[in-house]
Homo-oligomer: A and B are copies of this chain.
Amino acid sequence: MSVTATPSQRIPVPRNRDNDYTREAAQARTEFARERTGASLEHVSSYSFDPGILSGNVEQFVGVAQVPIGLAGPLKVNGEHAQGEFYVPLATAEGTLVASYNRGMRLLHEAGGVTTTILDDRMQRAPAFVFASAREARAFGDWLDEHFGEVKQAAEATTRTGRLQDIEQYSASRMLYTRFNYSTGDAAGQNLSGKATQAACSWIVDNYPGIERYFLESNFATDKKSSQVNMLRTRGKRVVAEATIPNELVNRIMRSDTELMFRARQVSNLGGFMSGVNNNGAHSANGITAMFIATGQDAANVAESSAAFVHAELDAAGDYYYSVTIPSLIVATYGGGTGLATQRECLELLGCYGSGNVEKFAEIVAATVLCGELSLGSAIVAEEWVAAHDLLGRNRPT
């Protein structure tokens, strides 16, 4: 049987073996694509930086997606790391998104700003170990607890900034599923967690007989997926944004009403509980994605970063306590795409580029999300509120 024919028909994308990160190499690919598909790629080919910076970020580079950025703000943040006013770059092509967040920022500015708090911080890799039976798996779990110090040493030997905080165990059948939890400094840390855990596993396998097999990942870190375990146990930053908004402001700025908003929230809470959603709020993914693209975060992490817990309370005076907790916000101010040309500029716009800024950035993201939640939450009931007032004659044009 001959299969020579098939591979010969396959024409791979051209690469330059010497240096593939040049305008010329990119241009060669553009032309290749143009010839084969007829697409001009004129705008794609228009970028303002030297492709030499892209090594480690992309392969077979042809050009760029130019994603429009709108500027919203000022956002007032009363964080522990982010304090003061920020102008927030939002990369999006969805009309009204920037306007809506901007409006929420105005509301919360007048309400005194958004209080933000980082509750937890951990990145993980989740190997599973397979044994002859459940009893052996359990024994290994005990051994792992006892040898945490050595495992930690093996893991941390591979990384300058990563620290292994603990190893969670989840058992089923003859497997032990684990979550290796790391602090990862200003990097998102998926790569360092993977590398460190790989090293830890090598040490473990060398030192513990009886492991039938292990897999470095087992759907317990749920990277780029949404999961209850990450909502419960945190992946990346667990961060809260909260504020109390006087009803007077909601009436005046949003043409809406807190009591109606609270009723809508209750209905939405039950809807979310029934529908099995990962977020009982409105649309946190909108703000998060727009900030992620602008600042060089990995937008695929929107999968897990889109989870949220909204909790609101209405007091007797009609003032509205509103909070959003993001349990798995994955952000970086260093590494990944954060150092690219426009991405770095957007981080600099927030005073967040580079080491020591990741908590500040996480707080700004959470504060932005809160503004968007209140903006949409008030808009959703505004029509009814206005209609009600019309009926009552209060809004009649004079």
Interface string of A56-74 (1 = CB under 8 A from B): 1111111111111111111
Judged by a CB distance under 8 angstroms, whether A41 is at the interface is yes
CB distance from A130 to the nearest CB of B (A): 7
Cβ-defined contact, B170 with A232, below 8 A? yes
Would you give the 0/1 interface string for A344-372, flagging 1 where the beta carbon is closer than 8 Å to chain B? Answer: 01101111000000000000000000000
The listed residue with most B CB atoms (<10 A of its CB), out of A11, A293, A327, is: A293
Interface residue SS majority, chain A: mixed
Q: Is the CB of A227 within 8 A of B278?
A: yes
Q: Which residues of B lie under 8 Å from residue A37 when comparing CB positions?
A: 87, 348-351
Is A157 located at the chain interface by the 8 A CB criterion?
no
Q: Which residues of B contact A72 (CB under 8 A)?
A: 13, 60
Residue of A29, A87, A99, A216 contacting most chain B CB atoms (<10 Å): A87
Contact partners of A13 in chain B: CB under 8 A: 71-73, 87, 102
Which residues of B are found within 8 Å of A240, using beta-carbon distances?
134, 171-174
The tally of residues in A whose CB lies under 8 Å from a CB in B reads: 157
Measured CB to CB, the closest approach of chain B to A53, in angstroms, equals: 9
- Distance of A300 Cα from B299 Cα, bound (Å): 8
Q: Which of B40, B61, B137, B341 contacts A70 (CB 8 A)?
A: B61
Residues from chain B with Cβ under 8 Å of A133 in the complex: 115, 117, 242
Given known A-B contacts A71-B13, A172-B309, A64 and B274 have beta carbons under 8 A apart: no
Min Cβ gap A195→B in Å is 13
A44 to B48, CA, bound (A): 9
Please determine whether B271 and A348 come into contact, CB atoms closer than 8 angstroms: no
Q: A68-B54, A172-B325, A325-B171 are in contact. Are A270 and B59 (CB under 8 A)?
A: no
Q: What string of 1s and 0s marks CB contacts (under 8 Å) between A28-55 and chain B?
A: 0100010011111111101111000011
Evaluate contact between B173 and A346: CB separation under 8 angstroms: no
User: In the complex, A11 Cα to B71 Cα: how many Å?
Assistant: 13
**Copies of this polypeptide in the complex:** 4
Q: How far is the CB of A206 from chain B (nearest CB, A)?
A: 12
Given the complex, which residues of B lie within 8 Å of A74, measured CB to CB? 10-12
Given known A62-B69, A68-B340, A72-B60, contact A276–B227 (CB-CB < 8 A): yes
**Contact status B268-A289, CB under 8 Å:** no
Residues of chain B contacted by A270 (CB below 8 angstroms):
172-173, 175, 309, 311
- Chain B interface: which of A90-98, A144-152, A158-166, A390-398? A90-98
- The winner among A222, A225, A229, A349 for most chain B CB atoms within 10 A is A225
Q: CB-CB < 8 A to A60: which residues of B?
A: 70-72, 98-99, 102
B98 touching A277 by the CB < 8 A rule? no
A177 touches which one: B172, B216, B224, B274 (CB < 8 A)? B274
A199 contacts B by Cβ under 8 Å: no
Cα–Cα distance between A125 and B93 once the two chains are bound (Å): 21
Instruction: Contact check, A278 vs B275: say whether CB atoms are below 8 A apart.
Output: no
Q: List 29 A-B contacts (CB under 8 A).
A: A11-B74, A42-B48, A44-B342, A57-B93, A58-B94, A59-B96, A61-B69, A62-B69, A65-B66, A65-B293, A67-B337, A117-B134, A170-B274, A170-B275, A171-B325, A172-B270, A172-B274, A217-B380, A219-B277, A224-B283, A224-B285, A225-B278, A225-B279, A226-B278, A229-B275, A232-B274, A293-B293, A293-B299, A303-B303
